[in-house]
Amino acid sequence: MDLEFSKEDLAFGEEVRAFIAQAFDEDMRAHAAQSKNGHIDKAGQVRWLKRLHEKGWIAPDWPAEYGGTGWSHAQKYIFDMEMALAGAPSTSNMGLKMCAPVVMAFGTPEQKAQHLPKILSTDAWWCQGYSEPGSGSDLASLSLKAERDGDHYVLNGSKIWTTYAQWADWMFCLVRTSNEEIRQKGISFLLLDMKTPGITIVPLPTLDGPPEGDQEINQVFFENVRVPVSNRIGEEGQGWTYAKYLLQFERGNPYAAGLTNQLNKVRKIASLEASDGGRRMIDDPDFRKKLSEMQIKVDTLNATELRMFAARSAGEAMGAASSMLKLEGSQAQQAVTELALEAAGLYAQPFVRDTWAEIRGERNEPRAGPDYAATIAPTYFNYRKTSIYAGSNEIQHNIMAKMVLGL
- Identify whether residues 217 and 353 lie together within a single domain: no
Q: Is residue 2 situated within a structural domain? A: no
Q: Is the pLDDT of residue 362 over 90?
A: no
- Identify whether residues 84 and 132 lie together within a single domain: no
Read off the CATH number of the domain in which 221 is found.
2.40.110.10
Q: Is residue 314 situated within a structural domain? A: yes
Q: Is residue 263 situated within a structural domain? A: yes
Instruction: Give the pLDDT mean for 263-291.
Output: 90
Q: Is residue 176 situated within a structural domain? A: yes
- Identify whether residues 313 and 399 lie together within a single domain: yes
- Identify whether residues 259 and 374 lie together within a single domain: yes
Tens of pLDDT, residues 175-210: 999 988 788 889 999 999 999 999 999 999 888 888
- Identify whether residues 266 and 365 lie together within a single domain: yes
Determine which of 51-55, 317-321, 343-347, 358-362 has the lowest per-residue pLDDT on average: 317-321
- Identify whether residues 136 and 186 lie together within a single domain: yes
Tens of pLDDT, residues 17-30: 999 999 999 999 99
For the chain, how many structural domains are there in total?
3
Report which of residues 62 and 405 the model is more confident about: 62
Domain boundary residue, one of 77, 92, 107: 92
Q: Is the pLDDT of residue 312 over 90?
A: no
- Identify whether residues 217 and 328 lie together within a single domain: no
- Identify whether residues 293 and 217 lie together within a single domain: no
Report which of residues 145 and 255 the model is more confident about: 145
Domain boundary residue, one of 92, 117, 147: 92
- Identify whether residues 318 and 399 lie together within a single domain: yes
- Identify whether residues 157 and 213 lie together within a single domain: yes
Tell me what pLDDT residue 62 has.
92
- Identify whether residues 267 and 365 lie together within a single domain: yes
Q: Is residue 363 situated within a structural domain? A: yes
In the 3-class helix/strand/coil scheme, how is the chain assigned residue by residue?
CCCCCCHHHHHHHHHHHHHHHHHCCHHHHHHHHCCCCCCCCHHHHHHHHHHHHHHCCCCCCCCHHHCCCCCCHHHHHHHHHHHHHHCCCCCCCHHHHHHHHHHHHHCCHHHHHHHHHHHHCCCCCEEEECCECCECCCHHHCCCEEEEECCEEEEEEEEECCCCHHHCCEEEEEEECCCCCCHHHHEEEEEEECCCCCEEEEECCCCCCCCCCCCCCEEEEEEEEEEEHHHEECCCCCHHHHHHHHHHHHCCCCCHHHHHHHHHHHHHHHHHCECCCCCEHHHCHHHHHHHHHHHHHHHHHHHHHHHHHHHHHCCCCCCCHHHHHHHHHHHHHHHHHHHHHHHHHHHHCCCCCCCCCCCCCCCCCCCCCCHHHHHHHHHHHHHHHHHCCCCCHHHHHHHHHHHCCCC
Tens of pLDDT, residues 124-170: 999 999 999 988 767 888 999 999 999 999 999 999 999 999 999 99
Q: Is the pLDDT of residue 2 over 60?
A: no
Please report which confidence band the pLDDT of residue 249 belongs to, taking 50, 70 and 90 as the band edges. Answer: low
Q: Is residue 45 situated within a structural domain? A: yes
Q: In whole numbers, what is the pLDDT of the chain averaged over residues?
A: 88
Q: Is residue 117 situated within a structural domain? A: no
Domain that holds residue 395: 253-403
Instruction: Give the pLDDT mean for 114-132.
Output: 95
- Identify whether residues 82 and 137 lie together within a single domain: no
Read off the CATH number of the domain in which 270 is found.
1.20.140.10
Q: Is residue 42 situated within a structural domain? A: yes
